[in-house]
Structure 1
Amino acid sequence: MIANSVKTSLRALKRNWTYTIINVVGLTFGLACCLLLFLAIRYELSYDRHNANADQTYRMVGHYKKDADEGYNVGIPMPALAALRTDFPELKQYLTLTHEIFEPVIQARGSAVNKFKERIGLVAFVEPEYFNIFDYGWQRGNPKIALKNPNTVVLSEQMAQKYFGTADPIGKTLRVQNKMDFVVTGVVDNPPPTSSVPFEVMLSFASLKQFGAYTGWEDWEASFTGAQVHMTLPASSHDQTVAEAAMEARLAAFSKKYLAPQDAKYYKFELQPLAEVHFDAETPNYARRTMSKQTIWAMALIGLFILITACVNFINLATAQAIRRSKEVGVRKVLGSTRIQLVRQFLGETGVLTGIAVGLAFVVAYVALPSVAKLLNINADGLPLVDPVVIGFLLLLALLTTLLAGFYPSLVLSGYQPVLALKGKLRVEGSNYFTLRRSLIVGQFAISQMLIIGTIIAYSQVKHFRSADLGYNKEAILTVPIPEQKPGQLENLRAKLAGLPNVQSLSYAMSPPSANGNWQTSIRFENSDRYSDFSVVMRPADTAYVRTYGLKLIAGRLYLPADTMRELVVNESLVRKLGFRQPQQILGKMIELSAGQPKRPVVGVIKDFNTFSLHQKTAPSILSTSRSSYGTLSVKLITEQGGIEAVNRLIGSIEQAWEATFPDFVFKYEFLDDTINNFYKNEERTFALFRLLAGIAIFIGCLGLYGVVAFVAEARTKEVGIRKVLGASVLHIVGLFSLDFVKLVLIALLIASPVAWYVMTQWLKDIEYKTAIEWWVFILAGLLSIVIALLTVSFQSIKAALMNPVKSLRSE
């Protein structure tokens, strides 16, 4: 019986092959899109879930709030670790501080290729307690003692293979930053790609002081973004939120106990659930990747919308065939078929068609997966297609699609009266079919227009990021990290580079003007008895920094050359924070940067520049010399002469000079505009995703619209014939068809506009320097939709208008 039903269904689909192809294509793209979005959403929601105690594990963050100013700091002062263990002894084994090392050079002793420049988020100093909190599968070594002693290191499996090949890594030696050796004492499984704490080279925390990566061991005023505290609270027998609230109350008292009174008034330590770290775009994590839950649920909603659009497309095309299949239904009923049997038959046809579409969707998803993974910055290894959960989702999707797409058409077709069906007197003008059909068209275009509006706004924001005035010149600047230097190395490198052609200027500094990693501190102004209740961003830089980046000095002068901090230049934001109306008023005032340090005079004021990305407000900043803090070489290039070949030759010359100066390290460069563009990868991805999904929704919607026009053209055949007999022109009839759909598009625009405005306003709310949502965005979306609709309608409407009226009126 089932075989016969399938055979009958295939025969019917073959007989109406045009509609079958359109349906299969529409469903295939809709289902493939849903499957890929499901994989992406599953990937995002699985972050840090590989840790057994993920729901009990938290990251400690600093929360600053004063009036309208509010922010979070993930860097925790170094003395907090010992204080936490003293005040919370029950957490001693389940509390740890990790200290990241940015892009170190690691040398593998005894290996053929023994020098590697490692990426951010790979290397950190960790305590043995780290492995009580974060789950690693151990292949070699003992987690309790592997990092107990100084100068030890634990590697992931892939890093062990990278450094030592197939040799046994245990007992082998790594040299880090050409200054300290570490012996391998353990090998662990590779962390999953969905980890916000993805370290694979774990150095013993007991070596941190000797390594000299940080000096503020007793300073409660200073913090480093790469030094973060995590803890696992005991499991609550009732509600974990109760345990979390109790711990936060204790941390409030902890803040008051150890922070200076003026700091504790506005600053306190809080807990952030580990399971929420990946979804918090406001605070950085070690993986340097976040995805807001709003974006994830928006992806899910868009996937549902596209599935609905594909099903609506099917309904439109299926019911467009209703008149053609009316006699078939009449014959079946005369021969004894019940309505239930007919419903089963038509649902069977839908099921067969959906099954074909599901198979093709799987193939499309497989082919598109690498591109989608790259678009969303997802590790493709974390998106398995052949997986029980994925297969289950596909089966559920197929069942849901069959019911959504097939139920209504099966009811319509099976409900025909056999007498009217056999006489060919079925017509649907004025019936509820048109009402439902119009509603479906409006829904389809509303979805498409929401995506079009989202795409335009996302593009506008990305364009704003690219073109905004940052307060400095970012063009043609090459940035090169420099290691800790010996006396004379910076001067030797400067002398070598200054003589190169097409080098306009060069500068040493801690970082470019806009950076993610920042040195922030409180200050004491003049004779104040307390430090400021706001943080100031320090930008240690030499005297060529202002010229290299085109910063604008608006009052006073630049500081004089020196190896240490002697004079200060501040930005406009700090001038305003300290209550001055004119930049000149702060000149000559004294600022103390940390306890025990001498006060230094303010000798100049520069125009504000963006200290972070455009997501955040420009911060109060101080520039001053500090040779020991210089970590970046910036080279301003002259690119007008010689083109790309000349630039490549110049970069080669810079590399040679750099390697001659630092032979034990690895040369790496990046153009500043590329660095800045990386700040906005999330927005770039959102724009690309909107663009892709909008294109798919429009394509599927157009297929559905094609079906509607075919239905209307067939339903109004005699009306068109009468109009032509009475003198109507082809243009008039095409306009008659088109006008109806233009009205539907405008109704859809009225529905889509407020929804899209709200969603995109929420998306933009966390961006400090955002684009305005202009009225023309909605007009443009409406015009695009009208053009698309008219192009889709035109073929069928012209075909109907050109039909011979004699043929259409013959039966009358």
Structure 2
Amino acid sequence: MLISYFKTAIRALKRNWSYSVINVLGLTLGLACCVVLFVAVRYELSFDRHHRHADRIYRMLGVSKSSPETPNTGITFPALAALRNDFPELKHQLTMVSRVRRAVVSVGGTAATEKKRFQEPDGVITFAEPEYFNLFDYEWKKGSPQSLTNPNTVVLSERMARKYFGNTDPMGKTIRIDNQMDFVVTGIVQAPPATSSFPFDVFLTHASVVAFGNTSPIDDWKSSYGGAQIYLLLPPSLTLARMESQLVSFVKKYHSPEDAKKFKYALQPLTDIHFATNTTNFARRSVSIEMIWAMALIGIFILVTACINFVNLATAQAIRRAREVGVRKVLGSTRSQLLRQFLGETSVLTSIAVMLALLVAELAWPYVGDLLNIPTGAVSLFSPVILVFLAGLGVLTTVLAGFYPALILSGYQPILALKGKMKTTRSAHYFTLRRGLIIGQFAVSQFLLIGTIIAYYQMDYFRSADLGFSRDAILTVKLPGNEPGQLENLRAKLAGLPSVQSLSFSMTTPSSAFNWSTGFRFENQEKDPDYGVVMRPADTSYIRTYGLKLLAGRNYLPADTIRELIVNETFVKRLGFQNPEQIIGKKMKVAGEDIEKQIVGVVKDFNVFSLRDQVEPSVLTTQRGNYTTLGMKLAGQEGGVKGISQLLKEVETAWQSTFPEFVFSYEFLDETLANFYQGEERSYALFRLLAVIALFIGCLGLYGVVSFMAESRTKEIGIRKSLGATTAHIFGLFSIDFVKLVGMAMVISSPLGWYVMKQWLSKFAYRIEIEWWMFVLSGAIAIGIAILTVSYQSIRAALVNPVKSLKTE
């Protein structure tokens, strides 16, 4: 019986091969999108879940009680010992991780020429305690957590051991960090998985963190470094609410009464860190949970549009197959047998689509994985979970796409079917159904299109917005040191290059992901304000190099320490001054200084963070000890790429002669700033791709329906042409109904698109306004594509000789 069903299904599909191809293509794209998005969603949701106690591990946050509250991942250094003293039950379930931002790892002999040097980016090297491994699960290949007990020891991951030492045994060998301190290898662990917010491969002993200088002073309760974070594992007997309530008294005990009023500690679950876009993590990769569910919903919507295609085409062919159903029923077929027959046809199509979808997903995954910043080797589309998901998706698709058409076809009355009267009794119903389904398809497509258009203009705003400083033609280079004479030597060598207009040494560029926030006290006030300032230590060339605009006063004088101050407009306004000139000559204490410093200038506001955040009160001043960045404003570069390459070689030569023990690396400022919005860029690119796919699937169904209409209305078209109808009239006859349907879809999708994108834009302090023409543009694009889809078949039908049309049965 099953073989008979299968053979009959194959014959039916061959007989209507054009519709079968359209159905398979639509289902293939829908299923492929579902698979790819399922893989992406599953990958994101698996972050940090590989730790056994993931549900009881928390990160401690320092939260400013401002409005809105501002969380900070950095915890003051003395808090670690104080927590262990006050919470003895957490003594071995509590640890501090202190990340090393960027470092050069030197391996090999003593002679400079014999050493191998590796420039390691953020998130590779950290200081850690043995207790770190009580919280987080690592497979030890050699050594044990106690390997990190003694000073100047290091534990490597397997991949870093191979990178540094090849196939030789690394145990007992030495690596040097930043040409500053040696560490002996005492352990090897398995590398963390890609789905970890702790991508560390080099664990330096925490016993050396103070000597290395990678944290705030050991007894300073005010200063914190965002890379020094505390994690704890709560025992089952200690609830989150109880722990946080006890931290209130902890703050009062160790912080000043003034600080305790505006500061608190909070605990962030480990499993939430990857999804928290208002805080950073060591992997420097966050995805909002809303984005994840949006991907899941879009995958479902696209699959539904593909199923709608199937239903549309199946119901369009229902009238043609009415006589077939009548003959089968006269010959004894029951409704259940016919139902199984038509579901069998759908299952054949779906099976073909499932196999093709897996192939398409495999081919598309490298592109999509790169788009979503997912390592290609981190997932396998042929894993059992994915294959089971795809099989279940195939069954679900068969039911969604095939059940209704099969139910309708199997329900025909044989007498009416054989007399050909189904056309009059069922046409209105089918037409109404198809209209509703087409509206649903294009509503989904236009929703994605509206989101893509709005996201495009927001991303364009990010690229072109006035940040208050120049971002073009500025080269930045990290400085590994600023010992006496080093910066002066480097300046002398670079200033003579004809392509360098000006250069500056500073802690960071004007906008940076790494910021120093501190308190201040203005004009002998009794207490610090309830907000802080962002510090920008820099030399006297900073304003000229980055194109900052001085609104009042003058530039500060050269100095190696904090001598004079320049503030921004926002700082002036927060203090209640109406005119920048009014603050010139005023004094304040800042950055823990005991002596007041004079304000000598005011600069126009510039964005110290990304455009997600408002401009903060900022202070520029000299402080040589914090100069870690070299910025160079370049003149118009002749010679194109070749000229830039030559300039970079000259800069590297000068830099290398100053810092021979380190590895040269550079960035262009505009590219660095663009990295602030990588997450948004990826979201925009993904939704743009999905919008195109959804439109394409919708147009496939539209093409199939129009093809069937043109075929079923052949005689009508012949009669109309005989009575004088033009090709344009026939084209309009086919097009007008579909244009109305797309217009109705626009009415449905526009309010939803407006609401969703309004919520998305609300995350940014600086954003575009959603305007009416964006919705009109979306509708125009959808209508234009629909007309193009309809035009081929409708014009082809209109051009047929009416004599031939009238002879057609």
- The aligned residue for residue 80 of structure 1 is 79
- The 2-side partners of 1:784 and 1:596 are apart by 61
- The aligned residue for residue 240 of structure 2 is 244
* Residue 531 (structure 2) pairs with residue 534 (structure 1): yes
2:422 aligned counterpart, secondary structure? coil
> Is contact 1:138–1:189 with CA below 8 Å preserved after alignment?
yes
1:310-709 pair list within 5 angstroms = 310-427=306-423, 430-595=427-592, 597-709=594-706
Task: Render the CA deviation track for 1:277-323: whole Å, top value 9, x for unaligned.
Answer: 11111111110000001000000000000000011111112222223
**What are the ranges of 5 or more consecutive residues in structure 1 without an aligned counterpart?**
237-241
> Is contact 1:455–1:687 with CA below 8 Å preserved after alignment?
yes
- Residue 255 of structure 1 deviates from its aligned partner by 2.2
- Residue 330 of structure 1 deviates from its aligned partner by 2.1
* Residue 156 (structure 2) pairs with residue 155 (structure 1): yes
Task: Render the CA deviation track for 1:390-446: whole Å, top value 9, x for unaligned.
Answer: 111011100000001111111122222223333334315752111111110000000
**What are the ranges of 5 or more consecutive residues in structure 2 without an aligned counterpart?**
none
- Residue 590 of structure 1 deviates from its aligned partner by 1.8
- Residue 461 of structure 1 deviates from its aligned partner by 0.9
Task: Render the CA deviation track for 1:751-790: whole Å, top value 9, x for unaligned.
Answer: 1011111111121221111111111110000111110111
- The 1-side partners of 2:525 and 2:251 are apart by 22
Distance 1:5 1:110, change over 3 A: farther
Task: Render the CA deviation track for 1:24-59: whole Å, top value 9, x for unaligned.
Answer: 111111111100000000000001001111111111
- The aligned residue for residue 281 of structure 1 is 277
> Is contact 1:309–1:697 with CA below 8 Å preserved after alignment?
yes
- Residue 716 of structure 1 deviates from its aligned partner by 3.8
- The 2-side partners of 1:61 and 1:489 are apart by 38
Task: Render the CA deviation track for 1:40-93: whole Å, top value 9, x for unaligned.
Answer: 000000010011111111111122233x44321111111221221122221111
- The aligned residue for residue 265 of structure 2 is 269
- The 1-side partners of 2:512 and 2:493 are apart by 27
- The 1-side partners of 2:221 and 2:5 are apart by 76
Deviates most, 206-215 or 499-508: 206-215
> Is contact 1:659–1:665 with CA below 8 Å preserved after alignment?
yes
1:278 aligned counterpart, secondary structure? helix
1:155 aligned counterpart, secondary structure? strand
- The 2-side partners of 1:707 and 1:508 are apart by 65
- The 1-side partners of 2:252 and 2:572 are apart by 29
> Is contact 1:155–1:188 with CA below 8 Å preserved after alignment?
yes
> Is contact 1:155–1:186 with CA below 8 Å preserved after alignment?
yes
* Residue 725 (structure 2) pairs with residue 734 (structure 1): no
What's the RMSD between the two structures over aligned residues? 1.7
* Residue 208 (structure 2) pairs with residue 207 (structure 1): yes
TM-score by length of 1: 0.97
- The aligned residue for residue 128 of structure 1 is 130
- The 1-side partners of 2:17 and 2:665 are apart by 58
- The 2-side partners of 1:749 and 1:595 are apart by 59
- The 2-side partners of 1:265 and 1:745 are apart by 58
- The aligned residue for residue 720 of structure 2 is 723
Deviates most, 635-644 or 386-395: 635-644
Matching residue's letter, 2:175: L
Deviates most, 557-566 or 797-806: 797-806
* Residue 166 (structure 2) pairs with residue 169 (structure 1): no
Deviates most, 276-285 or 9-18: 9-18
**Runs of 4+ residues deviating >6 angstroms:** none
- The aligned residue for residue 746 of structure 2 is 749
- The 2-side partners of 1:769 and 1:63 are apart by 24
1:321 aligned counterpart, secondary structure? helix
> Is contact 1:542–1:561 with CA below 8 Å preserved after alignment?
yes
TM-score by length of 2: 0.97
2:275 aligned counterpart, secondary structure? coil
- The aligned residue for residue 119 of structure 1 is 121
Identical-residue share of aligned pairs (%): 60
Task: Render the CA deviation track for 1:683-714: whole Å, top value 9, x for unaligned.
Answer: 11011001100011011000111122233334
Give the number of equivalent residue pairs. 805
- The 1-side partners of 2:668 and 2:729 are apart by 59
> Is contact 2:482–2:628 with CA below 8 Å preserved after alignment?
no
Task: Render the CA deviation track for 1:538-595: whole Å, top value 9, x for unaligned.
Answer: 1110000100001011111111001111111111111122222211222222221244
- The aligned residue for residue 38 of structure 1 is 38
- The aligned residue for residue 193 of structure 2 is 192
Task: Render the CA deviation track for 1:463-508: whole Å, top value 9, x for unaligned.
Answer: 0000000000011000000112322011011100011121101110
- The 1-side partners of 2:529 and 2:127 are apart by 31
> Is contact 1:27–1:310 with CA below 8 Å preserved after alignment?
yes
- The 1-side partners of 2:616 and 2:521 are apart by 17
Task: Render the CA deviation track for 1:636-693: whole Å, top value 9, x for unaligned.
Answer: 1113433322221011000011111100000000000000000010111011001100
> Is contact 1:720–1:805 with CA below 8 Å preserved after alignment?
yes
Matching residue's letter, 1:586: I
